[in-house]
Chain A
Amino acid sequence: MNTRSTFSASLERDRFDRFAALLARQLDGDLLLSAEGYPSLTESLVGVHPIAELIISATTTPAQIKDFCFNTPDPALGYISYTYGMLLRGVASDKATDFPLGHLKKYAAIAEYADGQATITASDTDLLNRMTALLTGPLDHAAPGPVTGLPDTPPRLSLDQAGYEAGVRETLERILSGHTYQLNLSTRFSWHCPDLDPLALFLALRHDHPAPFYAWLTSGPLRVLSTSPERFLRVEDGHVLSQPIKGTLAFADYSPELNAHLTKSHKESAELSMIVDLIRNDISANCTYDSVRVEHHKSIFQVDNLLQMYADVHGELREDRDCLDLLFDAFPGGSVTGCPKQSSMRIIEELEPHDRGVYCGSIVVIRDTRNMDSSIAIRTATHDTETHTLNVYAGSGIVVDSKPASEYQETLAKADKFLGLGEQ
């Protein structure tokens, strides 16, 4: 019998963030931290002391993942990589990957934050008391501090400007031949930084650049630093919501006219519309007839000095399907593959010299068969604490109207919060 004790308290979000930082620093906690004011706000969650782990490999089946997630009522937190999605979609790759294809954990204690309320649930009274003491004690010292060990040299790029622009030109040729309608092309920025404190980096980013799907995950010597603004799929008592983002406008000084500039762009609108039709398709496999609908098409929010366009795509999960049927049939998200998905993924595999790994996969919280939330793992970095390699990835959606130089600049804009680190 898995008996659990709980503690609840009203709390400011900033105080919960500091508490979460302590749990990560002192108890190796894994973090999913949301932020207010975004259309894809989600519940923040911290997992402490794993009691069960599933490291996903090429031989791990979706049925095994379901068994891990659903065999106890505890929530599972972790990531599923884009590389695992390639296997699901039948896209072969012989590139080396330095991360497991996924890593999910269940925990002895969970701390959650939603609607101004923090709740700690633990199977161990001592652990509950220790976490409660941290939460109710002084937290000033847990504020984000200076980040040590930041790289002060330029990154190595898997696709430098010339390589990226050549990739865009090749993509345009594939579009003209009909093999893809839109394709997301990415590049990887790598640094060797032996003295980097990656958790301090994550917390500083979180403080300075809030977004709804921040995640700090440990996987052996590896660390995931995800700062994503994008929801992939949420299932809430069977109600499905996807919020694909496409259409980006970088700005230095915001003015309301910029919104109309973005929504009136035929190119940016087409990018979003294509991915909306794609996610409609991908959820329809597991949703009831007549339930799939689009709302708030071409809505806009701001994140990281970028305007981003998105839509809400709704559906109702079929009674005979669970949230992981939905996730795996739709995975990886269309906004990071392009359309049609399988053909675009094959071209991506051809044009990108790097393995995407966690990047463009998903950070997931799976609660039960009809409740989960997940991000698209964009604006995401990884750090290897043994090789001291920091990898940052960024990409851009290529459509027929794309200009190679502009698309490269868009990748830089998306990576800017990481790229500017050495200048701080």
Chain B
Amino acid sequence: MDVLIIDNNDSFTRNLEHLLVAAIDGATVAIAPYAALPDVDLTTPDLIVISPGPGEPAEYPGYERVFSAGKPVLGICLGMQIINEHAGGTTGRLTGCVHGKTDTIRLNGIERVVARYHSLRVQTVGSGLTVLAENRDSIPMCLGNRDDRILGYQFHPESFLTPYGGWFIEYALDFLSLS
């Protein structure tokens, strides 16, 4: 499987690359910096991953061509917020912002510990997106649309603080009809 990560100038992108290679048999992962987004070839990857990064979705215009490329899309942290805003949702400051700490969520009926790094949150959910997991404070932690083959994680499966990061990639592949 060919995976393309669009890197929003983040410092966890290589962790994501290593996780994807470990979790997907035979995966090859390419990384394109956000600055190359207007020109990057979106026809060859089987999966496009939108990375975490500093700031808010409004600072990263140009993702329309990713969503219109007809490819499955997985967004992590800022990437999930970009998915949500593309669908008409909004982003706001998270009360009690959290970085480098763990939380517990339930996804697909299974409780998992996850690492959180975010100052912002999905404030209102975009049209057509379903919240698939949230934490005990009702902060959306996973949302997506199975038919449109888009999925977002607010938490960081690639962190060493997320004990079963590979499980979340397997869930994403299943959700995006890639497994």
A contact residues vs B (CB 8 Å cutoff)? 175-182, 266, 269-274, 276-278, 280-282, 284-285, 289-290, 292, 294, 297, 334, 339-343, 399-400
Some 21 contacts from A to B, beta carbons below 8 A apart, are A176-B119, A177-B56, A177-B119, A178-B55, A180-B54, A181-B100, A181-B119, A269-B100, A273-B100, A273-B115, A277-B15, A280-B15, A281-B13, A284-B18, A285-B14, A289-B22, A290-B18, A334-B11, A342-B11, A343-B54, A399-B99
Q: Determine the chain B residues whose CB is within 8 A of the CB of A176 once the complex forms.
A: 93, 97, 119
The yes or no answer to B9 lying at the interface (CB within 8 A) is yes
Chain B residues with CB under 8 A of A334: 11
Q: Is the CB of B101 within 8 A of A270?
A: yes
Provide the bound-state CA to CA distance between A270 and B98, in Å.
Answer: 9
B10 at the interface (CB under 8 A from A): yes
Which chain A residue lies CB-closest to B12? A281
**Extra contacts besides A273-B100, A340-B9, A340-B12 (9): CB < 8 Å:** A177-B93, A179-B54, A277-B161, A289-B18, A292-B18, A339-B11, A339-B99, A340-B53, A399-B100
B97 cross-chain contacts in A, Cβ below 8 A: 175-176, 178, 400
Dominant secondary structure at the B interface? mixed
Ranked 6 nearest A-B pairs via Cβ: A284-B14, A270-B100, A274-B100, A178-B119, A340-B11, A181-B99
B17 at the interface (CB under 8 A from A): yes
Find out whether the CB atom of B15 lies under 8 angstroms from the CB atom of A274.
no
Chain A neighbourhood of B120, CB < 8 A: 178
- Cβ-defined contact, A343 with B22, below 8 A: no
Tell me the bound Cα distance from A181 to B37 in angstroms: 25
Q: Is B117 an interface residue (CB 8 A)?
A: yes
Contacts of B12 in A (CB 8 A): 277-278, 281, 340
Give residues 18-63 of B contacting A (CB, 8 Å).
Answer: 18, 21-22, 53-56
Asked whether A289 lies within 8 Å of B99 as measured between CB atoms, the reply is no
CA distance in complex: A177, B119 (Å): 6
Q: Complex Cα distance A272/B156, Å?
A: 16
With beta carbons under 8 angstroms apart, the residue of B11, B93, B100 that contacts A281 is B11
**Does B167 sit at the interface, judged by CB under 8 A?**
no
The reply to whether B11 and A273 contact each other, CB–CB distance below 8 Å, is: no
The interface residues of chain A lying within 8 Å CB-to-CB of B13 are 281
- In angstroms, how far is the closest chain B Cβ from the Cβ of A381? 29
**In the complex the two chains form, is B55's CB within 8 Å of A179's CB?**
yes
Chain A contacts for B164, CB-based, 8 A: none
